Amino acid sequence: MNTSASITSPIDVVEHARTRQPTAGLALLALGVVYGDIGTSPLYAAKETFSAAHGIPLTELNVLGGVSAIFWALMIVVSLKYVTLILRANNRGEGGIMALLALASSGIADRPQLRRWLLAIGVFGASLFYGDAVLTPAISVLSAVEGLEVGTSALKPYIVPIAVGVLVALFAIQKHGTGVVGLLFGPVCLLWFTALGVAGIWNIGKAPGILAALDPSHALRFATAHGSASFVVLGSVLLAITGAEALYADMGHFGKRAIRIAWFGVAAPALVLNYFGQGALLMTRPEAIENPFYLSFPGWSLYPMVALATAATVIASQATISGAYSMTQQAIQLGYLPRMSIRHTSAHTMGQIYVPAVNWMLLFAVLAAVVGFGSSSRLASAYGVAVMGTMVVTTLLTFFVVRHRWGYPLLACVLPTAFFLVVDLAFLSSALHKLFDGGWFPLALGAAVFALMLTWRGGRERLLEQIRGSSVPIAGFLESLRSFPPQRVPGTAIFLTSTPDATPHALLHSLKHFKALHERNVFLTVVYEDVPTVEPERRVSCEAFGSDGWRVLARFGFMERPDIVAALERCAPHGLQLEPMEASYFLSRETIVSLPHAGRLRNWRDRLFSAMARNAASAPDFFNIPANRVVELGSRIEI
C-alpha cells in the first residue's frame, strides 16, 4: 500500500485542511473542487445555446431570451434547488447520490417493495454519474484547447492530439498525487472566476441592453416561441448547470456554509456576468458565435486565457475523477460492486484514495469520447443526458427524505418536488432529443454500470442464501464440540463470515483437514451500515459463547475504509483480549459455478457474476489484514 503523504486530489486537500481552515479558507478551496465543473461551462454553454443548428435566428430578442434562460436555469436549479434545499438533506454531514440513497431508503425500511424500487432508481442515478465522469474531462479539456484555433486555424488539426496528451497526463499522475499543486486549485479557480467576471463587465459595458435578460419573460418566450426548436435548444441551455451535482456530493468535505458562500459570493456572480457578457458580445458582433467565450476577451489575452482555461478544466476533471473513486468505494461498501484494489495515498489523512481499475477504465472511455466525437460541440450533444438523469433521480430521492425522514406534510413535499421535476424533466426530454447524436453514449455507459451493480447485488444475495442453506447452524456445531471435543492447538483463530448464525465453511474445512481447533476461535462478521461513518463506540460488539468462542460484529460506514485489525483492537473493553497481529485469519474463497437455467438472461447474469467474483480484489488487502497471517480455504458453490 502506498503511504505517501502526497495529496491526490482537491478533495484530499480539503480533508487535510478542513479541521484548521476557517470558513473563508474552505470557501476558497470549494471554488476548485465544487465549482470547477460548472465554472468551466461558459466555454461551451452559450456557444451551443445560440448555435445556428437549432434554427433560431441570432436576433437581439433571441439573444436576450437565451441569456435569460441560462440565468434562470442557474437560479432555479443551482441556487434554489441545490444550494437552498438539497444541501439540507445530509447523511450525517455527507452528501452525494449514494449518501442520499442510503438516507432515503432508510426512511422507508418498513416498506420493502417500495424500498426495492427506490434502490433501483438510486443505483441507476449513481450509474449515470460515471457517464458524467467520462464526459466532463472530455468536453472541458477539449473546449479549452479549442481556443487555439481562434488564434490561427493552422492549429486546428492538433486540437484533438493536444487534448489527448493533456488527458493522458492527468490520468497518469493519479497514482502519484498532485502534492502541493493541489493547494493551488482554489487560487487558480479564483483567478478563473475573476477573469470571467471582468470579461463579462467589459462586454456588458458595450451593450448594457443585455441586462433586460433579467426579466424572466424573455426566458419564457425563448422557450416557447420557436416551436420544436425551443424544445431542442433547452438541451444546450442545460449545459450551463452541469456540475451542480458537485454542490451536494462534496458537502461532507466543506460544509453547507462554505459551499453557499463560494456560490453566492464568487461563482454565481462571475458566471452570470460572463454569460451576460457573451450575450452582449453577440448583440454587437453576431459573427462572434464562432467562439463567443474566447472572442469576448481582448486579442492579446487569447493565449493566456487558453492556458488558464486548460488549468481550470484540468481542475474540474480532477474533481470528477476523484468523485468517481469515492462513488466506487461507496458502492463497494453498500454491496453494489465487488471488492477492488483501493490505495490510500496518505498516512496522515483519511479519504485520499486511488482506484487503479476505475482510473484506467475512465481514461479509456474519455479518450474514446474525445477521439470519437472530435469536438466540444459534438460532445455537448451527449453531455446533458447523464447530468439531467442524475438530477431527476436526486429530486425523487429528496422527496422521500423530506417526507419520510423529516416528516413534512405531504402537500409541502409534493409541490416543490413537482416544480423541480417539471424543470428537470423538461431539460432531460430536450437532452434525449439528441439521443442519436451522442446522447446514447452516457446512457450506454450508465446502463452498463447499472447492469454490473444489479448483477453483483443480486448475485451476492443468492450466494448468501446458498451458503446459509448449506451451512451448519453455529449452535449445533458448538454442541457437537462439547460432546466430541477435538484436539486444541495454541493461539487464536479468526474466521471471517458473512453469516454470523452459521458455522463458517473455513472452520469446517480447517477441522476436516487439520483435525484440530485453536484454543480460542473468533467468528467475525463485517457489516456496512447506511451511514457515512460509524461512531467509535459502536465499531464492534462482542458476544462470548461456549468452547472458548466469540462472535464479533464489526461495523463500518459506506465512506470508511474497513480495517479489521483496528476494529479487533477495540474488543478489549468487551472482555476479548487478543493480539490481532499474532492471530491467524481464516477466510473462505468461494469458487462460483453457474448452473444452466431455462432463461437466457439468468444464464448471462450468472456468468457475469461469476466473472466479477473471480476478479474481485483479495479480502486481506481490502480488509487490511496482514497477508502473512491469512489462511484461505476454497469451497465450490453452485448458483
Q: Are residues 27 and 162 in the same domain?
A: yes
- According to the model, what pLDDT value does residue 638 have? 65
Of 423, 457, 491, the last residue of a domain is: 457
20-24 own/partner pairs: CB under 8 Å, 24+ apart? 23/255, 23/257, 23/258, 23/261, 24/261
Domain boundary (403, 430, 457) is at 457
Residues 636, 509 contacting (CB under 8 angstroms)? no
Q: Which of 457, 491, 514 is the last residue of a domain?
A: 457
State the DSSP string of 363-396: HHHHHHHHHHH-SHHHHHHHHHHHHHHHHHHHHH
User: Is the distance from CB of 535 to CB of 106 less than 8 angstroms?
Assistant: no
The verdict on 125 and 178 lying in the same domain is: yes
Residue 604 pLDDT grade (very low, low, confident, very high; cuts 50, 70, 90): confident
**Residue 574 DSSP one-character state:** G
Mean pLDDT of 401-430: 92
Check residue 400 and give its pLDDT.
92
Does residue 573 share a domain with residue 431?
A: no
Kindly state whether residue 222 falls inside one of the protein's structural domains.
yes
For 24-50, write each residue's pLDDT tens digit. 777 887 787 788 889 999 999 999 999
Statement: residue 194 has pLDDT above 90? yes
Pairing, β 630-638 against β 353-354: unpaired
Query: Domain of 191?
Result: 17-457
Residues 87 and 166 in one domain: yes
| Same domain? 125 vs 213 | yes
Domain co-membership, 423 together with 480:
no
| Band of residue 518 on the pLDDT scale cut at 50, 70, 90 | confident
Query: Tens of pLDDT along 280-317?
Result: 999 999 999 999 999 999 989 999 999 999 988 888 88
How buried is 582 (Cβ within 10 angstroms: 0-12 exposed, 13-18 middle, 19+ buried)? Answer: exposed
Does residue 554 carry a pLDDT above 90? yes
Q: Tell me if 609 is assigned to some domain.
A: yes
Q: Within a domain: residue 180?
A: yes
Residue 7 included in any domain? no
Q: Same domain, yes or no, for 363 and 319? A: yes
581 and 452 part of one domain:
no
Average pLDDT of the residues in 435-458: 89
**414 and 440 assigned to the same domain:** yes
Give all strands of the β-sheet with 516-529 in edge-to-edge order.
540-545, 549-557, 516-529, 487-496, 584-593, 630-638
Number of domains in the chain: 2
Name which of 67, 288, 317, 48 is nearest 173 in CA terms. 317
The mean per-residue pLDDT over the stretch 485-492 comes to: 86
Q: Provide the grid cell at 361.
A: 477504465
Q: What's the CATH number where 297 sits?
A: 1.20.1740.10
Mean pLDDT over each residue of the chain, to the nearest integer: 84
What's the DSSP call for residue 624? Answer: T
Indicate whether 162 belongs to any domain: yes
State yes or no: pLDDT of 5 exceeds 60.
Answer: no
| Same domain as 449, residue 517 | no
C-alpha R_g of the chain: 27
Do 293 and 230 belong to one domain? yes
pLDDT for 145-173, tens place per residue? Answer: 988 888 777 888 899 999 999 999 988 88
- Specify the pLDDT at position 52: 87
> Mean of the pLDDT values across residues 188-210?
95
Closest CA to 506 of 490, 524, 491, 519: 524
Check pLDDT > 90 for residue 63: yes
DSSP states along 517-553 = EEEEEEEEEEEEESSS---GGGSEEEEEETTTEEEEE
The answer to whether 17 and 253 have CB atoms below 8 angstroms apart is: no
What pLDDT sits at residue 635?
A: 67
CB 550, CB 568: distance < 8 Å: no
Say whether both 68 and 175 belong to one domain: yes
Q: Please say if the pLDDT value at position 390 is more than 60.
A: yes
The arithmetic mean of pLDDT across residues 213-219, rounded, is 96
Please report the pLDDT score of residue 9 as a whole number: 43
Which has the higher per-residue pLDDT, 618 or 198?
198
